[in-house]
Amino acid sequence: MKEKYYITTAIDYVNAKPHIGHAYEKIIADVLARWNRIKGKDVFYLTGTDENAQKNAQAAEEAKKDVKKFVDENVKYFIDLCKKLNLSNDYFIRTTEKRHIKISQEIFSKVLKKGDIYKGTYEGLYCQGCEAFITEKELVNGKCPEHNKEPRYIKEENYFFKMSKYENQMLDLLSKPGFVFPDYRGKEMYNRVKEEGLKDLCVSRKGTNWGIELPNDKGYSIYVWFDALINYISALDYPDGELYKKFWPADAHLIGKGINWFHSVIWPTMLMSAGIKLPKQIVVHGYLTVDGQKISKSLGNTIDPIKLVNKYGADPIRYVLIRDIPSGEDGDFSEKILTEKINSELANGLGNLISRSLGMTEKYFEGRVPKGKNLIKFDLDKLNEHFDKIELHLALAETWKYIDECNKFVEDKKPWVLAKENDKELSDVIYSLLDSIRIISILINPFIPETSEKINKKLGIKLGNYKDVKPNLLKQGIKVEKGESLFNKVEAEK
């Protein structure tokens, strides 16, 4: 039996087109999914859309469209984004799917039957953007910090989940290092539960015409966050599906820091109540910013990732988002940074190494891999350590150190001089470069898979896996082809 790895992203609201923040999260998940496949694991990567939210219905109303039609139209942009980014997701879930609706109602009924759901009245501040009640303590200048809007005060009769019942279990869970990454994000959740206590959660909405109907009361719909979180198991056909038996519990729920509470606190308490195993880890990433400000639809400073991919290709965007932003932290993104990295690190670094190594093979060895041994070393243990710690920016930097080392090797060995002098070392030098390029194609695959495929095509080989990241595996005599450059230099628009 292969070791399994199940990774999910948050599911996206479809009240507007996707922005670069959506792309960032999906790329991180794809890097982790691809790396685990290279390591020989059986991987299931899930992403999708959150379609039952009232903000989707509100956006449809503003667009003067039927809600279902509006949602169906907008979902296409998110599916297209997955294709454009060359994601390797195994499934794209929509929470309007019949099986998700059925399983959400089953989980609600299960928690209700246990006595963990009751009817009561709630009043408080409600943020439409968060689709959640928030406390005055959370407000910044009287506004929700996530959406920069004043919440509205509402009072209504609803159904409540006895989340308070699981306070001690949550404190115990959140006190364990590793459940939430980075650790300080877990401490934030622990401190919040410790200081405020765990309050019961409103899990229904009254009088709405969009959403999943309560199984016990047709006048209400299930609170969107209660149903949305269930997608992680409904996509696996909980409770009897083969995928569920194989892949649950999740190895990593990848989310943005703004929804940490929902995933690190609300989701585990729901699972505890329903008698379902908890996920192994919640991986929290930071926000992308423009001039230090969070990119979001509600703030109106979004960047269209599909347009960027159409202009520059998927790999440069994947590369820059991982390379420039420390895992778990916020990071600035701009087209200027993107073009600088394309020119300096992709074109001059990797592209130049491939071009001249294959060019010299064609010139000195008639385009065939010479007999030789690889003289360039690579520290795989260090790369592994970065992946294990989810330090993806450092893992990519470690890979690029190897690329830089290969370029330095060319300058130090000067194969063009060795060729003039008919030096026997030329064979080892060219072999070292070609075999290292083979290894590089494996190492960069999680980050820039299209480029990895192009390199393998030039080398006339198939993509290797983790056990192939060792020297001297490239066979002598293989025909290589320099072909076109991997990256063209670009000029930033003013």
φ, ψ of residue 128 in degrees (nearest 5) = -65, -40
Helices (H) and strands (E) in the chain, counts: 20, 16
Q: Cβ contacts of residue 264 below 8 Å, gap of 6+?
A: 174, 179, 180, 185, 186, 189, 282, 284
Rounded Cα gap, residues 77 and 212, in angstroms: 23
With 0-12 / 13-18 / 19 or more C-beta atoms within 10 angstroms meaning exposed / middle / buried, residue 385 is: middle
Helix, strand or coil for residue 282?
strand
Omega within 30 of 0 (cis) for the link into 370: no
Q: Which DSSP string corresponds to 54-97?
A: HHHHHHHHHTTS-HHHHHHHHHHHHHHHHHHTT---SEEEETTS
Helix, strand or coil for residue 198?
coil
Q: Are 254 and 10 in contact (CB under 8 A)?
A: yes
How, if at all, do strands 288-290 and 331-332 pair? parallel
Host H or E run for residue 403: helix 392-413
With 0-12 / 13-18 / 19 or more C-beta atoms within 10 angstroms meaning exposed / middle / buried, residue 18 is: buried
Q: Cβ contacts of residue 290 below 8 Å, gap of 6+?
A: 301, 303, 332, 333, 334
Q: Cβ contacts of residue 298 below 8 Å, gap of 6+?
A: 129, 146, 147, 148, 149
Cα 107 from chain centre: 27
Catalytic residue numbers, as ranges: 19, 22, 127, 130, 144, 147, 294, 297
Instruction: Kindly provide the residue ranges of all beta strands, DSSP E only, lying in 146-231, ordered along the sequence.
Output: 152-161, 180-181, 201-202, 204-206, 220-222
| Amino acid type, 193 | V
Rounded Cα gap, residues 50 and 191, in angstroms: 29
Q: Are 478 and 459 in contact (CB under 8 A)?
A: yes
Q: For 212, which DSSP code?
A: P
